Amino acid sequence: MGQEKAVPPPIPYTRFSVHKRRYIVALLGYVTLASSLTATIYFPVIELLSSEYSASIQEINLTITLYIVFQAVAPAIFAPMADSLGRRPVLLFSFLIYVSASVGLALNRNSYGALLSLRGLQSLGGSAVLGLAYGVVADMITPAERGSMLGPLLATTNLGPCIGPVLGGLVARQTGSSVWCFWTLAIFGVVAFVLMGFTLPETARTVVGNGAVQARGIWRTWWELLFGCLPTATLKDGRQLNPHTNAGEEHEQQVGVNEGKTGKGKLAMPNPLAALRIVFYKDTCLILWMAASVYTVWYCIQTSIPIIFGSLYGWNQLYVGLSYLAGGSGVIIGGFIGGRMMDANYKHVARQAGLQTDRVVGDDVYQFPLERARSRGSISLFVFSVAALVGLGWSVKYRVHPAVPLVFQFLIGAQGTITHQAFNALLVDIFPDKPSTAAAAGNITRCGMSAAAVACVNPLVKSLGYGWFFTMIGIISGSTGVAAILVLCRRGERWRNLRRPS
């Protein structure tokens, strides 16, 4: 009898160790603060900027509008590039823009034109990061484990709206100038840039596969380029095994996800329409609406806080800044709870469907009811949000004790975060080959809807009052969210499989 040929073991989804993945997610949590921190640190110094630049409040508000516009556009430019070129070079390039713009703003003294243009560049560099971070998480982590990693990442990211106004108010109060707000952001950006340069490995599956293929050239960390790295084995085709992952046998480098990977990305012309195209698929349209609607509601609340607690309750700037901590705490706690819920829901739906989850190799997303897994429990959350928004609106209307609207802010922040991250995870799940581009589509809808809603807040509050305003947005968001979930669970998987590559 001839000797039976050994069957090679299955190729794992990732070769990055658990500790390495946790470090990368923690680093990304810090890095993704860029967008939200940069946006919210600006709010307490609006009047100060108006005085320093001899500009009207409306002209300073124009810089905020421009920031939101670039916040929507930036991921659509950088995310498709990262899916082909690699995550690492695009992240470093975007932060180079961010740091340069922040330093320029700190050095600018009296030019409103420079303030406007540099604020746009600052947004361009900092706002691409969250979509790229989603791509990194999708590169390394299977859908079954993605929730527990995305939860802490988004909780850290959402510290920005919590600490930004407080930090901006404290800096402005201590220095009497807006300059140190920009220097603070520049220092934050330099630290992020250096940490990524020295310690963030390339993770894009189009470049290093599951992490077993050694990155080359600019795709290597600065530590490797400056000080060398561990000895590596070289394959027959010249490729090297990655010494920083648990690289397996030689066959693993030549088949499956690693086949043809050279450790170098390919520069392709950015195509912003790639993200826009995702918006118009039937299933993603529903997913994007649910993720963006809860974010838009939250942004309306954030915008209203200075008026609610400043004008109605008579609080000073410092106390108004501190009032953001209530909602921010809800966002952070919701991030951790939501991550655990996503993983538990995934396992529950897998058992119901008679499927086994594979945390090593990963699951076939085209055979798994992802829509049911990610939306499980969301109907209750949307109904809860309606009740909480009604409570917030009428408690402000009748000026009850400020603890009441603060508690409602906490509850809405937690609910919105759990819902938002579940549908953002679903968006990345259903586009496994281009997760950053999918996340960019989410950013476009989120920022577009938020910008439009914020423009309508003051006119609607003046005509309806806070009670009916928050009741209205609660009913609209809640009813459309429930309807979208019902349609998505019934038809989403079929629509998704129509895009399945042959």
Residue 221's alpha-carbon distances to 95, 202, 227, 264, 420, in angstroms, are 16, 8, 10, 13, 33
3 occurs within a structural domain: no
235 occurs within a structural domain: no
Tell me the whole-structure pTM to 2 decimals.
Answer: 0.77
Phi, psi of 258 (to 5 degrees): -90, -5
225 occurs within a structural domain: no
Return d(Cα 448, Cα 69) in angstroms, integer. 8
255 occurs within a structural domain: no
pLDDT at 233 over 50: no
pLDDT at 189 over 70: yes
289 occurs within a structural domain: yes
pLDDT digits (tens, 9 = 90+) for 356-402: 766 545 556 667 888 898 999 999 999 999 999 999 999 999 999 99
pLDDT at 24 over 90: yes
Structural domain tally of the chain? Answer: 1
Structural domain boundaries enclosing 286: 18-202+269-497
At residue 194 the predicted structure's pLDDT band, cuts being 50, 70 and 90, is: very high
Return d(Cα 264, Cα 182) in angstroms, integer. 35
Neighbours of 106 (CB within 10 A): 19
461 occurs within a structural domain: yes
CATH of the domain at 96: 1.20.1250.20
Specify the pLDDT at position 256.
Answer: 54
Element (H, E) at 74: helix 57-85
Specify the pLDDT at position 175.
Answer: 82
pLDDT digits (tens, 9 = 90+) for 203-216: 988 888 888 888 88
Q: Are the CB atoms for 435 and 206 separated by under 8 Å?
A: no
262 occurs within a structural domain: no
In the predicted model, what is the mean pLDDT of residues 429-453?
A: 83
413 occurs within a structural domain: yes
